[in-house]
Structure 1
Amino acid sequence: MYATLLALHSLMRWLVLTSLVFAIFRAYRGWLLKKSFFKLDDNARLMAANTAHIQFLLGVTLYFISPIVNYFLQNFSTAMQERSIRFFGMEHVTMMLIGIGIISTISAKAKKKPTDEAKFKMMAIWYTIALLIILSSIPWSFSPLISRPSFRPF
């Protein structure tokens, strides 16, 4: 079960990033070009939030069954000194919760904004911040700090 969830979580990251980048593109386009907020823009907002929520559920499930996190929680003082253990036990989960929290909050607040420009501006700025937080906390295959494969097999 752990390996399957880990593979799904790894695959889902690409859907989250793609939907978030598309929502950001639509938001900047609408804001800077003073466009109307169309159904496609609302769907982009929803898709970014929904994929982030699914990824959150997968991640929380993984957090509670992960042998790395289990070791981190049981051997906290020792684990804090080990970069990869600390990353998955504390850093990754914290930063992802912040990123997904921003996406969730802004998705809800943006749809209530009275003008299209205000919706686009809020989404553009805050979704970009969330994307930067998320990108900084993904264990990329090319990272010198913590490295994991870009795609995990099932």
Structure 2
Amino acid sequence: MHLRLDDLRGPEIRALLEEHLRNMREISPPESVHALDLDALRRPGISFWTAWSGADLLGCGALKELDATHGEVKSMRTAMAHRNKGVARAILERVMQEARARSYGRLSLETGSQVEFQPARRLYESFGFTYCPPFGDYQEDPHSVFMTRSIGRA
């Protein structure tokens, strides 16, 4: 598996992100879908990584800067054909490595509260994320859960 900082221009990533947004809209009501589209992921302050095996896109994830000391995990997605192979774990490790390099003190995320998101919540829990109130611009939402953890320096 090879992880790379991605410019979000390839057709493979466009297709994976479209699948991600479509799936989020199937599970959650529109006001509870916080996944970012391609344009939003290209904004300054967001770094985006993809995981590859040869020419095969395995998954993706992003780090959004909330402020100089706080980052947010965004757009974590593993391609359906590559689930349960450690892709999300590798991407999350890379995101956390970058958060440490930026000297963030905290890394947070929003994910769904529905049963479909249980594997993601278990992954985040295994990395030391704990449940917290909404952060940043988020509001309380029965379809969302919020998680956070302290980040040590690189």
TM more than 0.5: no
TM-score by length of 1: 0.27
TM-score by length of 2: 0.27
Higher relative CO (CA 8 A, sep ≥ 6), structure 1 or 2? 1
Larger Rg belongs to? 1
